[in-house]
A and B are shown apart, each in its own frame.
Chain A
Amino acid sequence: MSTLDLLVNGKRHRVESWDPAQPLLYVLRNDLQLPGAKFGCGEGHCGSCTVLIDDRPARACQVSVSAAAGKRITTIEGLGSPGQPHPVQAAFVAEQAAQCGYCTSGMVMSAVALLRATPRPTREQAKAALDGNLCRCGSHDRVLRAVQRAAGSTTERG
């Protein structure tokens, strides 16, 4: 059993993991009660579990809890809430950019990472940045519209 310090959404958590190779995703969802990141494939193929680690998008199913220790982890819950959504989350709501919503957390996280690196992405740049996030319902066009909408609002906010 190893004891690890995780910095998640600005809060420090001491967690115990019987297996240092345990993927961060399970610790977030079950130990820290942050179930926003979803298990989709466990193989890094679908993007449903995307979080930010040191501001870069990462697949929480592919990062071990020991490798994540000491790094800044941001989950969807750390961005905003229904009452005070992050501009990207507000844009997803305004564009009604979800159907079942299972992939949505990962989409939002990838979109946030894109807009930090490229504040005014073209539609093609947005497609390229989100290409590793799969959606089965076919909400893609709305997600792209949400990214464009958020690009406007995040820029206005500076």
Chain B
Amino acid sequence: MNPPVPPQSPSRRDFLQGAALVVAFSFTGLPIARAQPVGGVSTHTLDLGELDAFLAVRKDGSVVVYSGKVDLGTGHRIAMRQMVAEELSMTADDVYRIELIEGDTALTPNQGPTAGSSGVMRGGVQLRQAAATAREALLALAAARLQRPAVELTLDGGLIGPTSGGPKVSIAELAGDRAFNVKLNPKAPLKDPLRYSIVGRSLPRPDIPAKATGRHVFVHDFRLPNMLYGRVVRPAAVGARLIEVDEASIKHIPDARVMRIGNFLGVVAENEWAAVRAASELKARWSAGTGLVGHEGVIDWARRGPFAGDEVLLNKGNTAVLANPDGRALRATYSWPVQSHASMGPSCAVADVQDDRATIWSASQATHRYQPALAQALGLPRDKVRVIYLDGAGCYGMNGHDDAAADAALLSKAAGRPVRVQWMRADELGWDPKGPPQLIELRAALDDGNRISAWEAEMWVPQATAKLAHVPLLGPADAGIAQPAGQAVGLISQNADPSYPVANVKIVAHWLADAPLRPSNIRAPGKVANCFAVESFVDQLAAAARMDALEFRLRDLADPRGAEVLKRCAALIGWTQRPSPTTSKGSTRGKARGRGIAYIHYKHNETYVAVAMEVEVDRSSGAIRVLQVGCAHDCGLMINPDAVRNQVEGNLLQTLSRTLYERTTFDTQRVTSVDWRSYPILRFSDVPALRIDLIQRFDQPPLGAGEAASTPVPAALANAVFDATGARLFEVPFAPDRVRAAMQAVA
């Protein structure tokens, strides 16, 4: 399948020319904290069926885009603009003149949370359709104005005129500062990708000049007049009740005040350092917590329950052969630990709560979704609470940003002034809702031709993450305020069956009624762990068949896009065909090198990714060093290839971090991994050579790039360690002592 050659393929020249444009843009392009829509807030529609909800033209001919999806550091700000600009036949310069308003509950339509790699593939596609509708509407207006049929007219660079030449009219004259009053047309014709001149180019992101010069406004930097600085004092243990507060214990700190609502405890002060010290020096007595299983007890707990119920997720063919294996059957159990989002900036929000209304600035992935919860916490009608997105530190799922928003709202209401709350490092690693633990048992059999004849997966997973049950916000929960249910936190049971054709498959989920720590979605929810298990197990089957791991995967892979990423990925690291492992088992000295590969068709209907890597294992210490990582990636139409590459690099490195180092530790009372020493993440010294091959497909719809490349990383790493040492890793993180133990087990 050869993609058509774009009229203008991305080039270095584009890139540098664009960079100059960005500089000019960024003087005036800082985030707008109180944006005004065309026509004013009160008349602005949020109806997803209306063009006006998504797009407007200003009097100067510039275009305003209202996006419910936000840029979480992922590059949506350039991609969304490119998609709109292309349909409106704008010039590359004008891309940067588009005003993009994001995630403001008063101004942007509810396009759902920015999660699940849906930003471009759902949100961007909606904006593109809005732009196509606008193009249609503008041509109709021009047809009336110019007394010519719309089919004889062309829109180009903000002007509409007869294709054959003649007088033109500008879009500003036709629609400037006026509502379109037309329905979004889901069938408005889209531009032919062969004629793309803006989509498919690596135009530079508009936010990076401000980020590189310290001028970008994060919610952490946002200030209001008369604002207080707040800090929250979280309970001494999970579920602990507040028995007593000694307000006199912070008397020595100027202008610091204690705020208490039930078990919710905070401080506010005129000066931030005063708030920090007050929170840390305030003496409070707490009851014991409600009890945790402790990180060492997670696997036993998962087996034991209590369970909310079992669910057969997939049942095709007949897997009875696994009940009476004839010697060609394998089984293995894999587990994934509780992990933190571990954002670089602790969560932060600013709230201005008044008697009858409130405005909250938050880095939430889901301002619309949390609007009712925040309104209920404040006792205000939903439409009186405006939640405005401002950038935070990268969150990779629901971190503490929504909790911080509730904290700021409660403190602002109590104090009667605007309040900015920023969490401390220990709050973030200790109290952000966590990626849940997963336990997966796999069974499979090989037939006489060394093909997988049957596959069973059983998983033990917390229900809260799959059934969209309520994830309570910490502040209102401690304050004893009821909260609405229904906050989605990710689909963690997908991709437990291999991305290769297998005739007989059964997948069962044992849904645990609770979770060891409050769970939420974390990048590629569940599918990182499931792909770790599935692709490690496929490797075990390949080894049992004495076949090359790449050949074993490719043999029956009918999907040409899947086969292509596997082949191109293998080529990136110079794959040589042979069975694994490469070395004799049991050697205890020196260093062993190996290579591994893994593949996923994300959610079985989205992005195709293969990851291969070469590692070196120190046999005496068990330490793993990753030497090089190859990744071939096909997410269909890439709006902005360099922005995709940035995401792919991030997926690879972040997931190496999660696989090598990360596990939230906790005892029976509280989280104990609350700083960067006890919750280490990847550092520069760990960074391998990255070799990335992005496949552009102008004939395909755009798919997500924010998550998929994470998922094959753990298995590719485990498979490389197996290839090097003959030792199989079943548990994340791959700490040196575990690697050593695994090597001793096969010695």
Q: Do A and B originate from a single complex?
A: yes
**CB neighbors of A among B639-677 (8 A):** 642-643, 646-647, 649-654, 657, 675-677
Question: Which chain A residue has the least Cβ–Cβ distance from B343?
Answer: A136
Of the residues A34, A89, A96, contact of B646 by C-beta under 8 Å: A96
Question: At the interface, yes or no: A108 with Cβ under 8 Å from chain B?
Answer: yes
Which residues of chain A come closer than 8 Å to B16, judged between CB atoms?
Answer: 94
**Cβ A101 vs Cβ B208 within 8 A:** yes
Report Cα–Cα, A117/B99, bound state, in Å: 42
Which residues of chain B come closer than 8 Å to A144, judged between CB atoms?
Answer: 684, 687
Of the residues B207, B221, B676, contact of A43 by C-beta under 8 Å: B676
**Cβ B393 vs Cβ A82 within 8 A:** no
Of the residues B73, B215, B277, B684, contact of A137 by C-beta under 8 Å: B73
Which of B48-56, B162-170, B267-275, B590-598 participates in binding chain A?
B267-275
**Cβ A134 vs Cβ B653 within 8 A:** no
Report Cα–Cα, A143/B651, bound state, in Å: 16
**Cβ B646 vs Cβ A139 within 8 A:** yes
Q: A85-B209, A103-B344 are in contact. Are A41 and B676 (CB under 8 A)?
A: yes
Q: A35-B220, A141-B649 are in contact. Are A48 and B345 (CB under 8 A)?
A: yes
B701 to chain A, nearest CB (A): 24
Question: At the interface, yes or no: B581 with Cβ under 8 Å from chain A?
Answer: no
Question: Which chain A residue has the least Cβ–Cβ distance from B652?
Answer: A138
Which residues of chain A come closer than 8 Å to B212, judged between CB atoms?
Answer: 85, 89-90, 92-93, 97-98, 101, 104, 108
**CB neighbors of B among A1-18 (8 A):** 18
**Cβ B687 vs Cβ A83 within 8 A:** no
Question: Which chain B residue has the least Cβ–Cβ distance from A94?
Answer: B19
Question: At the interface, yes or no: A133 with Cβ under 8 Å from chain B?
Answer: yes
Question: Interface 1/0s, chain A 108-136, versus B by CB < 8 A?
Answer: 10000000000000000011101101111
- Total A residues in contact with B, Cβ cutoff 8 Å: 62
**Cβ A104 vs Cβ B211 within 8 A:** yes
Which residues of chain A come closer than 8 Å to B391, judged between CB atoms?
Answer: 100-101
**Cβ B208 vs Cβ A48 within 8 A:** no
Of the residues A85, A133, A136, contact of B654 by C-beta under 8 Å: A136
Question: Which chain A residue has the least Cβ–Cβ distance from B647?
Answer: A99
**Cβ B646 vs Cβ A79 within 8 A:** no
Report Cα–Cα, A35/B119, bound state, in Å: 29
Report Cα–Cα, A38/B425, bound state, in Å: 12
Report Cα–Cα, A126/B393, bound state, in Å: 24
Question: Interface 1/0s, chain A 45-61, versus B by CB < 8 A?
Answer: 11010000000000000
Which residues of chain B come closer than 8 Å to A19, judged between CB atoms?
Answer: 273-274, 277
Which of B22-30, B152-160, B614-622 participates in binding chain A?
B22-30
B662 to chain A, nearest CB (A): 11
Which residues of chain A come closer than 8 Å to B19, judged between CB atoms?
Answer: 93-94
Which residues of chain B come closer than 8 Å to A26, judged between CB atoms?
Answer: 271-273, 276
Q: A30-B271, A36-B215, A127-B684 are in contact. Are A18 and B254 (CB under 8 A)?
A: yes
Which residues of chain A come closer than 8 Å to B34, judged between CB atoms?
Answer: none
Question: At the interface, yes or no: B422 with Cβ under 8 Å from chain A?
Answer: yes
Question: At the interface, yes or no: A140 with Cβ under 8 Å from chain B?
Answer: yes
**CB neighbors of B among A61-100 (8 A):** 75-77, 79-83, 85, 89-90, 92-94, 96-100
A35 to chain B, nearest CB (A): 4
Question: At the interface, yes or no: B282 with Cβ under 8 Å from chain A?
Answer: no
**CB neighbors of A among B269-290 (8 A):** 271-274, 276-277
Q: List 28 A-B contacts (CB under 8 A).
A: A18-B254, A36-B215, A38-B220, A38-B344, A38-B345, A39-B220, A39-B345, A40-B344, A40-B346, A46-B676, A48-B344, A48-B345, A94-B19, A96-B646, A98-B207, A99-B75, A99-B394, A100-B73, A100-B392, A102-B220, A103-B344, A133-B684, A136-B393, A138-B650, A138-B653, A138-B682, A141-B653, A142-B649
Which 9 A/B pairs are nearest by Cβ-Cβ distance? A36-B214, A100-B73, A138-B653, A101-B211, A76-B214, A100-B394, A138-B650, A102-B393, A35-B221
Which chain B residues have a beta carbon within 8 Å of chain A's beta carbons?
15-16, 19, 22-23, 26-27, 72-75, 204-205, 207-216, 218, 220-221, 229, 254, 271-274, 276-277, 342-346, 391-394, 396, 422, 424-425, 642-643, 646-647, 649-654, 657, 675-677, 681-685, 687, 690
Task: Please give 8 more A-B residue pairs, beta carbons under 8 A apart, in addition to A85-B209, A93-B23, A134-B681.
Answer: A42-B276, A76-B214, A77-B213, A89-B213, A104-B212, A105-B214, A136-B393, A140-B687
